[in-house]
Each structure stands twice: as structure tokens, then as C-alpha cells.
Amino acid sequence: MKLPSPSKLKDIAALINCQYDGSDDHIITGLNEIHMVEAGDIVFVDHPKYYDKALNSKATTILINKKTECPKGKALLISDDPFRDYNKLVLHFQPVSYSMKQISDSAKVGAGSVIMPGVYLGNNVTIGTNCVIHPNVVIYDNCHIRNNVIIHSNTVIGADAFYYKKRADKFDKMISCGRVVIEDDVEIGALCTIDKGVSGDTIIGAGTKIDNHVQIGHDTQTGKMCLMASQVGVSGVVKIEDGVTLWGQVGVKSDIHMGKGAVVLAQSGVGMDLEAGKSYFGTPAQDARTKMRELAAIKMLPDLMKKINA
Amino acid sequence: MKLPSPSKLKDIAALINCQYDGSDDHIITGLNEIHMVEAGDIVFVDHPKYYDKALNSKATTILINKKTECPKGKALLISDDPFRDYNKLVLHFQPVSYSMKQISDSAKVGAGSVIMPGVYLGNNVTIGTNCVIHPNVVIYDNCHIRNNVIIHSNTVIGADAFYYKKRADKFDKMISCGRVVIEDDVEIGALCTIDKGVSGDTIIGAGTKIDNHVQIGHDTQTGKMCLMASQVGVSGVVKIEDGVTLWGQVGVKSDIHMGKGAVVLAQSGVGMDLEAGKSYFGTPAQDARTKMRELAAIKMLPDLMKKINA
Amino acid sequence: MKLPSPSKLKDIAALINCQYDGSDDHIITGLNEIHMVEAGDIVFVDHPKYYDKALNSKATTILINKKTECPKGKALLISDDPFRDYNKLVLHFQPVSYSMKQISDSAKVGAGSVIMPGVYLGNNVTIGTNCVIHPNVVIYDNCHIRNNVIIHSNTVIGADAFYYKKRADKFDKMISCGRVVIEDDVEIGALCTIDKGVSGDTIIGAGTKIDNHVQIGHDTQTGKMCLMASQVGVSGVVKIEDGVTLWGQVGVKSDIHMGKGAVVLAQSGVGMDLEAGKSYFGTPAQDARTKMRELAAIKMLPDLMKKINA
């Protein structure tokens, strides 16, 4: 997320009452999770395994639980609990407030769009022109629906990321401050969920068509003209290029890249990056022809075992 | 779909501004997708691969993108884009109009039926006697619920078919004009979707029981007393005979036939027709005993490979 | 379920017009399904296969379709149709009544809790303190949400168990009279279903976090701090200990026990009890390392088959 206006290191440090290493006037313009960081952002890191990744990322301020050498041109915020303090900053810059109206006062609906009964539009939601939002759809705060979009009944856009930090006796929730952006000409079936980004945008690319019961995790971004059949589940932070097709009940692990035009056959489980233009099948998903050869070989296996045992 | 009243070939051709081959007075009574056509219907075809199928189907008028010999007793509508013109006819005979009331003015509810808060009933929806429609269920236009039916919360009946034509730069949507018919004594769990037929009826047979999160695609028809466990997904145009059981998370490909009393074990993926009375398992689903033998053989495979490599 | 007040055998027999074997004054305090019975309860049994189990269970009154020797200190209710008469008793002691208000008159909401628009709270529902119930959530009668619980949009808590008795020409529904109890600090995603117990409680343990599209069946109980990823489906009467993790699209058969800290990898199908602290994978799920060895061996199988055939 972008801060409402650029802030100084000194002032941010005061908000979370922590030490810092850097110029008082070092400028901070945003707050982002490691997958989404840009120059100007704060990123947080609390595990030694990821220190180097965070220090060398595009983020120019690192909220960290260790005194370490500050990379040139960057600044450190030194906290005993970066996760807690990151959440504190998120809530400071984007305080939670629940609109208690079906259509919030700050929601905007474009010309020619139909908002059917029972729909909930949260704070700052925008709906473009010529959309149809079917009954009982729920759109959480700060989500954006562009033009000519159809969303079928009881779909939920912008619920929180499924993202927790395990403590000894509880899970601490990561506060999601990102958004969902649905581009032009998208159609989304009934009973789908598209979660908001943790700090960035979950994006459904223009012309993409999504069937019923589909789950799209936080910060996942699809290209243009993708197809997702019913009951597909895509985890968070997945990057799907243009023209990808996922058939029914496919599952996709987090942080995967799917090349342009890749096709995943029904019920497959995708656990690795997919190449452009290729077809995949199986759990775990692999090249579809390789998988078919394995299935053919398995069919002959019981007889082979019988012969070997005889 | 049936036309409101029989129409003449000449008048239909004028609506879509196309040439025709046949008598001006040739009668058209309906408009249907190839799987559902009857005498009196228009069917459309735009791919050479399916010309013969359409020309030889029960449809008596063929909307086609080629000048070809007209079968005896039939007529042709010759269009440069049959898909576009089919949609144009659908919208002419069944114009879209969204009821903005939770219970539309034309919805009818039978004696003894309970419609709970937040339920949406679209135009021309009928609910029979002694039904219970739980909170926030949505029933789209023209769907019919017979008697003694229970539908649990947030289920969506009659959303559009997931059916698009791929163009160079977009997917064109097939306009669904069919219905859903839920017969007597059916119970449908929470958060299910049963899509309307493209041009015909999606039917859930009498006494069938469906658990939560189940997806039933367009034009699929089940027999009497079927059971579907949670998270089952059935594609479009599937024909399920009486007494079929689908266990949890089963997926079914489109255009499949399932014989009477067939049983599909959990998480299976059905990609071929199923025989009556048999049990199936696996992805792709096969005879359950054959699959079990394969699984037993696979268990011995790592040791066999070790021996062979030694 | 507990009866509103203790009843006498004679009076219960009169309600269902059946013979009995035992003292007129034998006391009955509850009504329970075989998995949940305690002393004081009636249990029903109508299949010879389960007579002994029911007669020897903790239940002190057995509703049975056979004249048999009455165990010492217990009583028998002798019915030609125990299933029908069990339902009759359930409906007598817990008559169905549907609240037609979004928030029923008997629902109680604790301090600091936010109930957003479109939420339905049935009769006798309680919501503790500092909860957030997002738009269009439905909570059926008699369910209890403790403190600091978050439930995302369009989730359905307390729908009926998927539980029927097959008759010659129909399925008879078991009337669910149990509850759902959601303990402190639980978060439940959007579009989840957690069904009520048939006669006891479905319980989600404190601190458990559940992603979108998850199904939890009747009478299933989870421990503390479990994690369930999107599209997981858990059947009825499953016992999940503390700290269990189920990854995306996992399915779990009914009547399974999962030991503390067990982990089930994505898309697995659990058909047997799981040991504490171990990882599982596959359909059917087995020890994850064993499954990985099988997958590695299968990769070599096509070449082996080619060699053997040559």
C-alpha cells in the first residue's frame, strides 16, 4: 500500500517506538510485503533466513529484528517484533472501519451498471460502467471493478488473506491492506472468492472468465483471457500469464509462475512453475503426455507383479 | 427454449438480417443448443466439423455460416456469424430484465412454503408447496422448484452456463435462456450452484439429496434418488440415471452418461461413461477393483525398482 | 441433545406409542446419536449389525426394533421403526420454528461485536464479545460463537447434517438437533459451511484458522490451533486433535481420528486414522515419504515396461 503522503523515518519510528539506523529525513512512501516491494517501501523481516533477501530487495527501509549493517541509501527500523510493528503501521495508515450500509456512502457505481438486491459494497469500492452485480455479492472495502464486468450471486471479493504468524500459543493475523482489481470484460461465477492482496493488488486480467466456486488467493495476478473452471483453487502470490486455462478442481500452490497459454487438466495439483503453451496433468502436475505414459504403464503393473511373484 | 408463439422463417431471417433457404412460411417453434434440439427448433453451427451433425439433427432449421444443400423438409438461415445471430435471437425472444426486488412480482410461492429472510426470487420463479428456502438463497429468473424441496443458505440456483466462444481478442458469452427444474422431495445443501440450461432444462430428479458446496453444470440432468456428497463438481450436459451416488470431491467431465446406481468413490475424476451398478475410483475414474489392484501393485513398486537397479 | 427436563420412560413411550421394557419411572435425560451417547440418553438402533453396540453403549435407554433381553439398569423402547420414532421425539422436544427476522429476537450479541448488513442470526444464537460477522453470513438456530471470532462473508454455520435413511422409494431425513460451537479466537473464511451436530456439537477449537470454501461435517470436532486451507472438505464425526494442518482441497472420510500435529498435504484423501506429528499425502493418504518414493518409482516405470516388452 501507498502511504497517504510521504513520511519521514523519524516519524515512522516514533509510531512504533523503535530505534532506527538512517537519516531522520529518509523518505518512506509505502508499506509492502516482500513479494511486492518497490523503492520507497518499508518491508519487514523477522527470520534470519530471509534477512539478506529483505536487505537486498527493492524496499528502501527494512523493519528488522537485528542490528545489522544498513545497505547504502537505505534505512533500518529495529524492532523486537517486526510482524507486530508492521501490523501496527498498517492499522495506523488504514484504520479499520466497517460500513453498516449495504452500499457504503463512499462506493461509486458507473453508468449502466446494475447492482441487484442484497449486494454489499464496502468503503471506497468502485464499480465501472455496464457491470451486473448479481444478488448477495459482497465486495469488501477498497476493491475496484472496472467496466463490463459480471459477478454472479454470493461471490465474495476482497476478503482477508489467509496469512498468520505462528506464536507459541496462537496464530497472529497479518492485517491485509491490499485490494482486488477486476479488469474489463471479466465474468466471475457464483460463490467465488477473490481475496485482497496483503499489501498489494490481487488482479483478474481483462477478459478472463471464471466459473463457480473458484478461490483466488491474495496477491495472485492473472493475465488477460484466462479460463478457470469450477472449483479451481489458486493460492496466494501466483502469477498467471495471458491465456492460461485451468480445468475443474485444479489446485495451485503459492508463489508459482504459469507461462502464457499453459493448460492444466482437471483435478491436477500444480506445485512448480509451468512453461508457456504446455499441458499439465496429475498431482503433482507434470507434462501431460509424460503423465499419460505413466498411467498406461501403471495399468500393466498388476500383471507384471503377478508374473514376478510367480 | 420455446418461442412465445410459432414464427415464420422469413420473419426470423429479418430479425438477424440474413439470407435463407426454405419456404417463407416454414415454421419455427424453438431455439436450442445441439444437445437439446427437437423438431421445430433452430440449431446453430459455425464449425465445418459439426455441419453434418447439425444438418442431420432433429432441428428443422439450421443457422449456418455456409451455403450448402438444404436437407429435405428443413430450412437454412445463412449467416456470417451464427453464434452472434443465435444470441441475437435469444435476446429478442427473452430480453434481459432484472427484478430489483428480493421477491419479484412474478414469483409464485405455494402453500406451506417458507421463504426465509434475504432470499432472492427472480422473474417467473415458482416455488411449490411445503418448501423451505433458507436465508440468502438466490434463484435466478425462470427457475422452478417443485414441492417439499429444502434449499440451504446461500445456494445459487440458475446462474448462467460457463460457455464462451473464443474470438481472437475476447471470449463471447453464450446467452443462457434455459431453466433449472428441481423436482419433488429434493434437498440441496448450503453454498451449492446449479446452473441454468443453455437453452433447455437443468433437472434435479425427485428425491435426490445434495450436500454442501456442490456444482451442477448447465443442462445436466439427474435421475431420482441420487446422492452427491460435499464439494462434488458436475460439468454441463451430464446425464445421471436414478440412484447414482457421487462421494465427496468427485469431478465429472461434460457430456458423460452415468448408468443407474453407479457409485463413484471420493475424489475421483470421471472422464468416460459409467455402467449401471458398478463402482468407480481414481483420476481418471475406472472400475474400483481394478484401481485397487493398481494401488496395491504400486505399493510394491519401490522395492522392485531397488532390486532391478541392484 | 439434552431434554428440557428429565422424562420418565412411560411418558416417552406414550409419545411414540410403543411398548417398553423397564421401570415406568426409568429416567431419560437426553437423546443422542450412537457416536455421542452418554448415561441418561436414548439411542436408536434398527439394524441387527449394530444391536450389540447400541445395547452396550453408554446410553441407558435403547430405541430398538426387536424384543431382546434388556441390559441391567437400562430400558428398551420397542418400535417397528426406531428411525421414524427417534425423529418424532426430536421434533417433540425441539419443534422447528423459523425466525423470519434477519436477527432473531432470541439472538444475543456480546459487547464490541460487529454484525454487518445481511447477516442472519437464527433463534437462540449467541455471539460473544469482539467478534466480526461479515455481510450475508447465515447462522442457523442454536449455534454459539464465542469471543474474538471473525467469520467472513456468506459463510453458513449450522446447516443440517447430510444424513438420510434409505427406504425403498425415498430417503428419510435424520432431523438434526445438535449445535455448532465456535471457540475463542477462531477465524473462518468466506463461503465456508460448518454443519450442526446430528444430536451433539460440532466444535471448532480455540485459535483454529479456516480458509475459504471449507466444509466441516456434522459432529466433527477440531482441537486448538488447527489450520485448514481453502476447499478442504471434512466429513461428519471426525475427531481432529490440536495443531493439525490440512492443506488445500484435502478430503477427509467420516469417523476418522487425526493425532496432534498431523499434517496432510494438498489434495490428499484421508481414509484412515492419522498418527500424531506425521505428514501424509495421496489418495488414499499415506505416510508422505512412502508416497514420495512411490511417485519416484512410477516415474521410472514407463522405461522399465518398454525394456520388459522389448
Identify the CATH number of the domain in which residue B39 sits: 3.40.1390.10
Do C138 and C238 fall into the same domain? yes
| Inter-chain touch C134–A138, beta carbons under 8 Å | yes
A100 within domain boundaries:
no
Residues C192 and C69 in one domain: no
Interface B-C, measured as beta-carbon pairs within 8 A, has a size of 121
Distance of alpha carbon A181 from alpha carbon C183, whole angstroms: 34
Same domain (yes/no): B156, B275:
yes
CA distances from A269 to A216, A259, C225, C247 (A): 15, 16, 26, 12
User: Is B146 found in the same domain as B285?
Assistant: yes
C245 part of a folded domain:
yes
Q: Is the pLDDT of residue C234 over 90?
A: yes
Same domain, yes or no: C119 and C258: yes
Tell whether A53 and A125 lie within a shared domain: no
Residue A125 sits in the same domain as residue A89? no
Q: Tell whether A81 and A229 lie within a shared domain.
A: no
The predicted pLDDT at position B232 comes to 98
- Whether residues C275 and C158 share a domain: the answer is yes
Question: CB contact, 8 Å: B123 with chain A?
Answer: no
Q: What are phi and psi of B49, to 5 degrees?
A: -55, -30
Give a yes or no: residue B297 inside a domain. no
Contacts of B192 in chain C (CB under 8 A): none
Judged by CB atoms closer than 8 Å, whether chains meet at A301 and B296 is answered as no
Residue C310 pLDDT: 81
Q: Is B74 exposed, middle or buried (0-12, 13-18, 19+ CB in 10 A)?
A: middle
Q: Which positions of B are annotated as active-site residues?
A: 218
In a domain, C305, yes or no: no
The pLDDT of residue A223: 98
| From A153, A249, A308, residue closest to B233, measured CB to CB | A249
In a domain, B213, yes or no: yes
Task: Based on the fold, state whether residues C184 and C56 are members of the same structural domain.
Answer: no
CB contact under 8 A, A98 and C114: yes
Shortest alpha-carbon distance between residue B188 and chain C (Å): 10
C-alpha closest to that of C193 among C184, C201, C202, C185 = C202
* C217 shares contact with chain B (CB less than 8 Å): yes
C102 CB neighbours in chain B (<8 A) are: 117-118, 135
Domain boundary among C26, C61, C93: C93
The nearest CA of chain A is from the CA of B171 a distance in Å of 7
Closest alpha carbon within chain A to C297? A294
Contact C99, C105 (CB under 8 A): yes
- What is the tally of structural domains in chain C? 2
State the pLDDT at residue C308.
Answer: 86
| Cα–Cα distance, C123 to C145 (Å, whole number) | 13
Residue B308 contacts A where some CB pair is shorter than 8 Å: no
In a domain, A300, yes or no: no
Measured CA to CA, the distance from residue B2 to residue B41 in angstroms comes to 8
Name the residue among A189, A266, A301 with its Cβ closest to that of B301: A301
**CA of B207 vs chain A CAs: smallest distance (Å):** 25
Percent of chain C exceeding pLDDT 90 equals 97
The answer to ipTM > 0.90 is: yes
Contact A230 B231 (CB under 8 A): no
From the candidates C26, C213, C218, C257, give the one annotated as an active-site residue: C218
Q: What is the pTM of this model?
A: 0.97
Contact of C225 with chain A, judged by CB distance below 8 Å, is answered with yes
- Sign for the CA dihedral angle at B133, B135, B137, B140 comes to positive
Which residue of chain B comes nearest to C122, CA vs CA?
B135
Does A103 fall in a domain? no
Contact C153 A138 (CB under 8 A): yes
**Domain holding A174: CATH number?**
2.160.10.10
Say what the pLDDT of residue B33 is. 86
C218 is catalytic: yes
User: Which H, E and C letters describe chain B, residue by residue?
Assistant: CEEEEEEEHHHHHHHCCCEEECCCCCEEEEECCHHHCCCCEEEEECCHHHHHHHHCCCCCEEEECCCCCCCCCCEEEECCCHHHHHHHHHHHHCCCCCCCCCECCCCEECCCCEECCCCEECCCCEECCCCEECCCCEECCCCEECCCCEECCCCEECCCCCCEEECCCCEEECCCCCEEEECCCCEECCCCEECCCCCCEEEECCCCEECCCCEECCCCEECCCCEECCCCEECCCCEECCCCEECCCCEECCCCEECCCCEECCCCEECCCECCCCEEECCCCEEHHHHHHHHHHHHHHHHHHHHHHC
pLDDT computed for residue C36 by the predictor: 84
Confidence (pLDDT) at B310:
81
Nearest CB among B98, B136, B233 relative to A230 is that of B233
Q: Indicate yes or no: CB of B187 within 8 angstroms of CB of C170.
A: no
Same domain, yes or no: C84 and C121: no
- The answer to whether the CB of C166 falls within 8 A of the CB of C204 is no
Chain B residue closest in CA terms to C254:
B248
Q: Tell me, what's the pLDDT at A268?
A: 98
Which three cell numbers mark A62?
A: 527494512
Examine the domain organization and report whether A154 and A261 are in the same domain: yes
pLDDT at C107: 98
The C-alpha cell 444438418 sits at B55
How far does the CA of residue B56 sit from the closest CA of chain A (Å)?
31
Q: Give pLDDT tens digits along chain A (310 positions).
A: 999 999 999 999 999 999 999 999 999 999 998 888 999 999 999 999 999 999 999 999 999 999 999 999 999 999 999 999 999 999 999 999 999 999 999 999 999 999 999 999 999 999 999 999 999 999 999 999 999 999 999 999 999 999 999 999 999 999 999 999 999 999 999 999 999 999 999 999 999 999 999 999 999 999 999 999 999 999 999 999 999 999 999 999 999 999 999 999 999 999 999 999 999 999 999 999 999 999 999 999 999 999 888 8
Nearest C-alpha neighbor of B291 from the set B261, B257, B262, B265: B265
Residue C84 is given by DSSP the state H
pLDDT of C210 above 90: yes
Task: Test A193 with C209 for CB contact under 8 angstroms.
Answer: no
Q: Which residue pairs from B303-306 have beta carbons closer than 8 angstroms and sit at least 24 positions apart in sequence? A: B304/A305, B304/A308, B304/C297, B305/C297, B305/C300, B305/C304
Burial code (b: 16+ CB inside 10 Å, e: under 16) for C81-101 equals bbbebbbbbbeebbeeebbee
Residues forming beta bridges with residue C61, ordered by sequence position: C42, C75
pLDDT at A309: 82
By CB atoms closer than 10 A (0-12, 13-18, 19+), residue B1 is buried
Q: Does C153 touch chain B (CB under 8 A)?
A: no
C-chain residue closest to B282, CA distance? C283
Chains that touch B (3 or more CB pairs under 8 A): A, C
All three cell numbers of B245, joined, read: 451416488
Per the structure, the complete domain to which residue A280 belongs is given by 108-289
When pLDDT is cut at 50, 70 and 90, the band that residue C309 belongs to is: confident
Cβ of C189 and A191 within 8 Å? no
Of C173, C213, C284, the CB nearest to B187: C173
Contacts of residue A159 in chain C, CB cutoff 8 Å? 134, 152-153, 189-190, 212
- The residues of chain B scoring below 70 in pLDDT are none
Q: Does C293 touch chain B (CB under 8 A)?
A: yes
Asked if C154 lies within 8 A of A215 by C-beta distance, the reply is: no
- Looking at the complex, does the CB of residue B289 fall below 8 Å from at least one CB of chain A? no
In a domain, C54, yes or no: yes
Residue C108 pLDDT: 98
